[in-house]
Amino acid sequence: MQVKSVYKYARISCLKAREVTRAIQGMPVSNALAVLAYTPKKAAFLVGKTLQSAVANAENNHEIDPDTLIVKSATATEGPSLSRIMPRARGSAAAIKKRMTHITVILDQKPESEKKDGAKAASAAEVVSTEKPKAKRARKAQDS
């Protein structure tokens, strides 16, 4: 199940926002939130808000555990631009474009293979931990 959240008309250039969105793609949600919390950019704050909204959508609307989510895709696309002017020399004017961005975050559940691998690793750890005391007892018996 995929969960989506969109932040429209964010007042930041899409080039600046794309730097941040590329950094979190493919990460588990907890890691992505940690990366965004310590990234000193305005775009990190805006992408973080969108990511938290997507997590809330997953929990409340679809009843999905946030620990099982990964960031499938995070994109920043161009929105409209506000046209403004700046007075220049000799009565002329220069155009200023105040750009906007649409930030989209799509979350997906971890693939089943990763979940099964985690279960296999846990069961393998249990087997190893149960074998060690037997091996120790066998060595003690041989030493005696």
pLDDT one-digit tens code per residue, 34-59 = 999 999 999 999 999 999 999 999 99
Q: What is the pLDDT of residues 91-128, one digit of tens each?
A: 999 999 999 999 999 999 988 766 555 555 554 444 44
Handedness of CA 120, 121, 126, 132 (dihedral sign): positive
* pTM for the model: 0.74
CATH superfamily of 3-110: Ribosomal protein L22/L17 (3.90.470.10)
The token pair at 139 is 């060595």
Q: Which residue has the higher pLDDT, 130 or 62?
A: 62
Q: Which long-range contacts (CB under 8 A, 24 or more apart) does 113-117 make?
A: 115/68
Evaluate if residue 141 carries a pLDDT over 90: no
Give 13's pLDDT tier (boundaries 50, 70, 90): very high
- The beta-strand segments (E) located in the chain are 3-10, 69-87, 93-109
Provide the token pair at 138.
Answer: 């066998």
| pLDDT tens digits, one per residue of 53-64 | 999 999 999 999
The per-residue pLDDT for 64 is 92
More confident residue, 133 or 19: 19
**Residue 136 pLDDT more than 60?**
no
Mean pLDDT score of the chain: 86
State the pLDDT at residue 110. Answer: 86
